[in-house]
Amino acid sequence: MNPADETERSAWRARLGAVFTGRKVITGLLPLAGLPSWVRLLDEAGAQRPLLLGTGRGAGPVPTEEDAEIVLLDPGHHESMTAELRAQDALARQLPAEVVAAIERYDPDGEAVWLLGPFVVNEPVLGRPVYGGRPADWLALEDKLLAEGIWRAVGAPHAPARVVPVDAVPLEEASRALDLGAGVVWAGDARDGFNGGGDFTRWVVSAGDRLAAWSFFGPRCDRVRVMPFLDGVPCSVHGIVLPDGTAAFRPVELAIMRGPGRRFVYGGQGTSWDPPEADREQMRDLVRRVGEHLRRRCGYRGAFGIDGVLTRDGFRPTELNTRAAGGLATLAQGVDPAAFTLLQLACLAGHDPGITVAELEGWALPAMDADRVTKAIAMVPRRLTEESVDLPVLWDGADLRPCPALDAEAAVMVGPSAVGSFTKVTGVSLARGERLGALNAALVRFLDAELDAGVGPVEAAPDLRAVSPTA
Tell me: the pLDDT tens digits for 364-404?
999 999 999 999 999 999 999 999 999 999 999 999 999 99
| Sheet strands side by side (includes 389-395) | 377-380, 420-426, 410-417, 389-395, 400-402
- Fold match between 144-156+230-471 and 160-228? no
Q: Where are the domains of the chain?
A: 6-133, 144-156+230-471, 160-228
> Model confidence at 193, in pLDDT bands (50, 70, 90)?
confident
Rounded average pLDDT over 56-74: 92
What pLDDT sits at residue 196? Answer: 82
Question: What's the whole-number mean pLDDT along residues 142-165?
Answer: 97
pLDDT at residue 431 greater than cutoff 70: yes
Average confidence score pLDDT of the chain: 95
Phi (first) and psi of residue 390, to 5 degrees: -115, 115
The share of the chain scoring above pLDDT 90, in percent, equals 91
Altogether, the residues listed in the chain come to a count of 471
Distance CA 452, CA 4 (A): 46
Q: What are phi and psi of 136, to 5 degrees?
A: -60, -35
The predicted pLDDT at position 471 comes to 38
**160-228: which CATH architecture?**
2-Layer Sandwich (3.30)
In this prediction, residue 469 has a pLDDT band, given cuts at 50, 70 and 90, of: very low
How many other C-beta atoms are found inside a 10 Å radius of the C-beta of residue 446? 22
For residue 50, the 8-state DSSP code is: P
Band of the pLDDT at 87, cuts 50, 70, 90? confident
Q: Tell me the per-residue pLDDT of 298-319, one tens digit each, with 9 for 90 and over.
A: 999 999 999 999 999 999 999 9
**What pTM, to 2 d.p., does this model score?**
0.95
**What's the topology of domain 144-156+230-471?**
D-amino Acid Aminotransferase; Chain A, domain 1 (3.30.470)
Closest C-alpha to 25, from 133, 129, 134: 129
Quick one: pLDDT band at residue 466, thresholds 50, 70, 90?
low
pLDDT grade, residue 197 (50/70/90)?
confident
Three-state SS at 366: helix
| Residue 343 one-letter amino acid | L
111 pLDDT above the threshold of 60: yes
Give CA separation, 452 vs 38, 312, 446, 447, 449, in Å: 33, 36, 9, 6, 6
Do residues 279 and 313 lie in contact, with contact meaning Cβ atoms separated by under 8 Å?
no
What pLDDT does residue 355 have?
98
* Distinct helix (H) and strand (E) counts, the chain: 13, 21
Position 287 pLDDT exceeds 80: yes
Lowest mean pLDDT among 48-52, 57-61, 179-183, 357-361: 57-61
pLDDT digits (tens, 9 = 90+) for 210-264: 999 999 999 999 999 999 999 999 999 999 999 999 999 999 999 999 999 899 9
Whether the per-residue pLDDT at 356 is higher than 90: the answer is: yes
pLDDT given at position 248: 99
Q: Which of the given ranges, 87-91, 92-96, 242-246, has the highest pLDDT on average? A: 242-246
What pLDDT score does 470 carry? Answer: 44
